[in-house]
Amino acid sequence: GLERAFRKRGILSHLGVRVAGVDASPDEVSVRLENGTSLTADYLLVAVGRGPATAGLGLEEAGVALDRGFVVTDDRLRTDAAHVWAVGDIVPGLQLAHRSFQQGVFVAEEIAGLDPVIVPEKQIPRVTYSHPEIASVGLTEAQAVDAHGRDRVAAYEYNLAGNAKSEIIGTAGVAKVVRMVDGPIVGVHLVGDRVGELISEGQLAVGWEAHPEDIAPFVHAHPTQSEALGEAFLALAGKPLHAL
């Protein structure tokens, strides 16, 4: 969905191919890919991700184990050092602000003896604030198939072209829901403007292991983009609303 939206705006994607080299001049830059393709543009932006900034803090001297700069913790965020916990981007996993918030609350409650519930990484919503946005929680269809087998997984993809509010705001995209056959929803994936606002419903469905049949009767207001999720749930429950 994102690739189609980008293509309509003249943005081309080359996936799964490495950069072979870069040639720059005062007027332009040329990027050579390993598949023989050459791209020429005014500027080159290289995005290589982020790493932990833990060097020189005295962590190892204090007995805190590191792995490639990341702080090693158990599933309750305890380090190897007594009475030391770690939270946020220095802990391996998703580097997201809301994950850091949740981990901070978790450790505070852990120290207070409240025995907080561990939130699995797959239940943490991920949002890419591109145009259109991408929002996701849980397993992708491919991940679910790898974990459980093709015959145990079902998925439905609803095109936002059929969603009135998406038409009003002028966005394309999809709402995809992945479930276990005769079982719970294990993944929700959205592409489209503003879909980051919808992912909390997906988080509840995945986190509570809801079955589409259980939530199919829930009514979504019209016209809202949330109807796209509702129609995907209906379809997976065998009760499609707008489908032949």
Tell me which residues are annotated as active site: 222
Across-strand partners of 32? 21, 38
Question: Residue 220's Cα: distance from chain center in Å?
Answer: 23
CA distance linking residue 97 with residue 83, whole number of Å: 24
b/e map 57-67, b = 16+ CB within 10 Å: eebeeeebebe
CA distance linking residue 224 with residue 89, whole number of Å: 34
CA distance linking residue 105 with residue 119, whole number of Å: 12
CA distance linking residue 124 with residue 95, whole number of Å: 11
DSSP per position, 155-168: EEEEEGGG-HHHHH
Question: Residue 69's Cα: distance from chain center in Å?
Answer: 24
Preceding peptide of 212 cis, ω within 30°: no
Q: State both tokens at 26.
A: 């005062």
Cα dihedral 176/182/183/189 (nearest 10): 0
